[in-house]
Amino acid sequence: SVSAENGYNLWLKYEPIKDAKLVAAYQENISSLYVYQKSETLDIATKEFITAFKGLTGKSISTSVSIQKNAILFIKTDDLQKLNITHPSPENDEGYLIKSIQHQGKPLTLISSKTDKGLLYGAFHLIKQLQLKQSIFNLNIWEEPKIKHRILNHWDNLDRSVERGYAGFSIWDWHKLPQYTDQRYIDYARANASIGINGTVLNNVNANSLILTDDWLKKVKALADVFRPYGIKVYLTARFSAPIEIGKLPTADPLDEKVQLWWQQKAKEIYASIPDFGGFLVKANSEGQPGPQNYGRTHADGANMLAKALEPYDGIVMWRAFVYDNEVPEDRAKQAFNEFKPLDGSFHKNVIIQVKNGAIDFQPREPFHPLFGALTKTPVMAEFQLTQEYLGFATHLAYLAPLFKECLDADTYAKGENSSVAKVIDGSLYKNQITAIAGVANIGNDVNWCGHPFAQANWYAYGRLAWNHQLSSSAIADEWLNTTFTGLQKTSSTLLKDMMLESRETVVNYMTPLGLHHIMGWDHHYGPGPWIKDKPRADWTSVYYHQADNNGIGFNRTSSGSKATLQYFSPVAQKFDDLKSCPEEYLLWFHHLPWDYKLKSGDSLWDGIVKKYYKGADEVKEMQKTWAAVEHDIDKQTYQQVKQLLTIQSEEALWWRDACVLYFQSFSGKPIPIGLPKPK
C-alpha cells in the first residue's frame, strides 16, 4: 500500500500541522466553501481543499449553498458582478486572484479567475499557503503564468519501457487502457495541476506510429478524459513515416498530396474523440529518425504539413531542433543552428521550435543554446531534462532548478542587453503568440514516482519555473522541502536547502568540471567513460569531446577552431571566444588549453581540474553529513532510502574522480597536486 512515508503523495501530503495555535487560527477562520457555478473542475478543487484542510487542521468543512462567514469563494470573473463583488482579476485565462475581502459584513476569502482551471490553480495555491504555515489573512495574491503551454515530455514507449527513465516502467498501463483507470493517472493529474503543468506528451520522441492507430487512440482518449478536468491537455509524438507504416502509402514526402491528406484525416480522427488534443511533438532527421530530409525537403516543409493538418482545431506542432547526426563531421554543437537559422520565417504560424537548453545534450553544465534569440520570426520553446540521463540517473541527488535557471537567465543579447532566454521563450522579446516550455519527465511507476526521493523536487521545480521563471531556486527548494518533509524544523530545512542548492554544482565538479562534457560511458551515459574511442563517430574529431592530448585538453570551438562561438550574438560570441573573458565554468567547452595554462586561482589547468574532481567527491561526503544531521526530522523510510543513495553517490563520485584523473593524467603526465590523496 502507498502512504505518505514512501513518497507516493509527493508534495501533496496533508499531514497534521503541529503548531496548535496556528491550527486553531486556520480552523477559526475557514468555515466552508462556496461555489457559484458548479463544474467537474470545481468539484475537484473543492474536494482537494476539503481533504487538505481536514488533513492539515483536523477540521471537516464542506461546500454550502449560501455564503457563510469565513467562507472561501470560488467565483469566475464573469460571475462576480452578479454577487455584487467588484475586484479586478487577471486577464490571463489561467491566472487567478486570491483576496481577503469583506462582503455584506462577512470576512471571506475570494478565489476568482476567468476559468475553472484558474480556480483550481487558486485552490492549490491556498492549500500550499496552509502547508507552508503562512498567513491566510489580508491575502492579495495575483498570479498569471508567463508561458502558455507548460508541458511534460514522456519518453515512454508503448511496451512501457521508458527511454532514459530510471523510476521503473511507464505509468501508462496501455494494456489495461482504455477500460481501466489507474488511480495513478488521477494523482499524476493532481500533482501536475498543483504546479501548473497543463500539457503532457504521452509517448517517446523516438516514436512508434502505432500510437496513431484507432486502438491506441482509444487509450489516449481515455487518458485525455481523465486529465481534462485538471486542465491538462494531451499531446502525442508523430513519427514522420507514419503514413507509410500505418497508412500504407508509398511515401511520407510532405509535399505529396496524399500524404498531406492522410495527416489531415488523422487530425480529424483524433479531434473527433479528443476535441482539445494539444498537437504533435516531432523528432525528425535526428539520430536515425525519419523526417522530411529523407525526401529532400526541409524541416519547415515537414512541420508545416503537420501544422496545416492541426490548424483547424487549434493544435500546435512542436518541432524539435535536436538534430544530431553522428555521420556529420561538423561540430555537433553547431548542427541545430546551422539547420534551423536559415529556415526562420518559413514556418507556419502554429509551429514552435523546441530547443534543448544547450547545444550538445543535457549535460551537467552547458552554455545556453545559440538558437535562443536567433529565430526572430519563429517561436522557440525550451526543453529541459528532468530525468537525470547525464546526472547520475535516479541514484545521485542533484537539484536541477539552478541548472534550469542558468539557462533561463542567460542573456542572449539578441536584441541588445536584457534579452534573456526566458524572454525569448515567454514571447516577450519577439511578441510571439505561442509560448511553451517542455520538461522531459523523470516519472515512472516506482512507488515514489521519480526513483530518488529528491528527484521529485525536479518535477516540482520545473512546474514552478514554467509558471514563473523569475522564482528563485532557493524559494522553490523551500516550498518543496516544507511540503514534502512536513514538520521540518527551520534548522533542518536550511541545511537541506543549502545541500540541494549546491548539489548540481557538486555533480559538475565530480563529473565534468571546467566545461568538460559528454565524457560519460558511451550509450548508457551513467559512469565515467572519457576513454571511449572504439565507437568512432564522424563528429568525434579526436577522443570523445574532451580532445585531451599530451599538450592539453578541451574542445576548441573558437574562431580558430569549430567556430561554434560565432553562432552567438555579440558580445556573447566574443566573451566565449576570448580566453580572457570566457567564464571558467565553460573553459574547456570552448577552448583547448595547455596543461600548464594558468587559471584565475593561480593553479595550473591540470591542478585545477584535479582539485575540482576532489572537491566534488568531498562535497558528497558533506551531503552525507548533512543528511545524518537531519535524521530526527525525516521519516524512517525516506531517511534510509536517501542515506543508501548517498552512499552510492559518494562511492561513484570517487569512481568518477579517480577514473577521470587517472585517465587525463595519462596525457598530462603530471603529478597529483601536493596534499591530495592518490587516486585508486
Residue among 283 and 504 whose Cβ is closer to ligand GCW? 283
Among 39, 92, 206, 637, binds ligand GCW (CB under 6 A): 206
How far apart CA 549 and CA 543 sit, in angstroms, is 9
**C-alpha cell recorded at residue 37:** 457555478
Residue among 94 and 361 whose Cβ is closer to ligand GCW? 361
Sequence-separated (6 or more) residues with CB below 8 Å from residue 250: 244
List phi, psi (to 5°) of 317. -115, 120
Residue among 388 and 650 whose Cβ is closer to ligand GCW? 388
Residue among 361 and 406 whose Cβ is closer to ligand GCW? 361
Whether the Cβ atoms of residue 214 and residue 207 lie closer than 8 Å to each other: no
Using rule CB under 6 A, residue 155 touches ligand GCW: yes
- Residue 573's CB is within 10 A of a number of other CB atoms, namely 19
Whether the Cβ atoms of residue 370 and residue 397 lie closer than 8 Å to each other: no
**Catalytic annotation, pick one of 78, 215, 287, 549:** 287
Residues 53-72 that bind ligand GCW (CB under 6 A): none
- How many residues make up the chain in this entry? 680
Residues 276-295 that bind ligand GCW (CB under 6 A): 283
Smallest gap from residue 322 Cβ to ligand GCW (A): 5
Active site residue 389: yes
Q: Kindly state the helix (H) or strand (E) to which residue 500 belongs, with its residue range.
A: helix 490-511
Residue among 311 and 339 whose Cβ is closer to ligand GCW? 339
- Residue 249's CB is within 10 A of a number of other CB atoms, namely 17
Amino acid in position 44: I
Active site residue 287: yes
Residue among 164 and 611 whose Cβ is closer to ligand GCW? 164
Site string for ligand GCW, 375-394 (x = CB under 6 A): --------------x-----
Using rule CB under 6 A, residue 332 touches ligand GCW: no
Residues 420-459 that bind ligand GCW (CB under 6 A): none
Size of the site for ligand GCW (CB under 6 A): 10
Using rule CB under 6 A, residue 163 touches ligand GCW: yes
Say which DSSP state 678 is in.
Answer: P
Smallest gap from residue 361 Cβ to ligand GCW (A): 5
Closest C-alpha to 467, from 404, 529, 514, 406? 404
Smallest gap from residue 523 Cβ to ligand GCW (A): 8
Using rule CB under 6 A, residue 326 touches ligand GCW: no
Using rule CB under 6 A, residue 205 touches ligand GCW: yes
Closest C-alpha to 364, from 513, 221, 489? 513
Angle, CA 74 vertex, CA 72 and CA 80 arms, to 5°: 110
Point out the residue whose Cβ comes nearest to ligand GCW: 361
**Catalytic annotation, pick one of 94, 339, 389, 406:** 389
Residue among 117 and 396 whose Cβ is closer to ligand GCW? 396
Using rule CB under 6 A, residue 362 touches ligand GCW: yes
Residue among 12 and 205 whose Cβ is closer to ligand GCW? 205
Angle, CA 384 vertex, CA 48 and CA 393 arms, to 5°: 85
Residue among 322 and 590 whose Cβ is closer to ligand GCW? 322
Smallest gap from residue 325 Cβ to ligand GCW (A): 12
**Catalytic annotation, pick one of 48, 94, 116, 361:** 361
C-alpha dihedral sign at 70, 71, 77, 80: negative
**3-state helix/strand/coil string of 224-276:** HHHHHHHCCEEEEECCCCHHHHCCCCCCCCCCCHHHHHHHHHHHHHHHHHCCC
Smallest gap from residue 448 Cβ to ligand GCW (A): 23
Angle, CA 237 vertex, CA 232 and CA 243 arms, to 5°: 135
Residue among 295 and 324 whose Cβ is closer to ligand GCW? 324
Using rule CB under 6 A, residue 245 touches ligand GCW: no
Smallest gap from residue 657 Cβ to ligand GCW (A): 24
Smallest gap from residue 385 Cβ to ligand GCW (A): 7
Rounded to the nearest 10 degrees, how much is the dihedral formed by the CA atoms of 185, 191, 192, 195? 170
Strands 279-282 and 316-320: parallel
Sequence-separated (6 or more) residues with CB below 8 Å from residue 557: 331, 333, 563, 564, 565, 576, 589, 590, 591
Smallest gap from residue 387 Cβ to ligand GCW (A): 10
**C-alpha cell recorded at residue 609:** 581540474
Smallest gap from residue 389 Cβ to ligand GCW (A): 6
Site string for ligand GCW, 532-561 (x = CB under 6 A): ------------------------------
Using rule CB under 6 A, residue 239 touches ligand GCW: no
Using rule CB under 6 A, residue 322 touches ligand GCW: yes
Smallest gap from residue 518 Cβ to ligand GCW (A): 10
Q: 519 burial class (0-12, 13-18, 19+ CB within 10 angstroms)?
A: buried
Among 48, 143, 253, 361, binds ligand GCW (CB under 6 A): 361
Give CA 9 to chain center in angstroms: 20
Active-site positions read 287, 361, 389
Residues within the interface to ligand GCW (CB under 6 A): 155, 163-164, 205-206, 283, 322, 361-362, 389
